[in-house]
Amino acid sequence: MKLQKTRGENMENNESKLIPSLAGGAVIAILSTFPVISAGNCLCCMWVIAGGIVAVYLYNKNLPENKELTQSDALIIGVLSGIFGALFATLINYFFIVIGYRPGMAFLESFIESKRDIAPEVKDMIESFKGNEGLFGPFIVFVQLGVKLIIYTVFSMLGGVIAGAFLNKKQEKNKNE
Between 35 and 38, residue with greater pLDDT: 38
Model confidence at 73: pLDDT above 90: yes
Residue 167: closest CA among 87, 90, 89, 54: 54
Alpha helices, H only, 34-135:
46-61, 71-99, 103-114, 120-130
Q: What pLDDT was estimated at residue 134?
A: 43
Q: What is the pTM of this model?
A: 0.77
Q: What pLDDT was estimated at residue 5?
A: 44
Mean pLDDT of the chain, nearest integer:
82
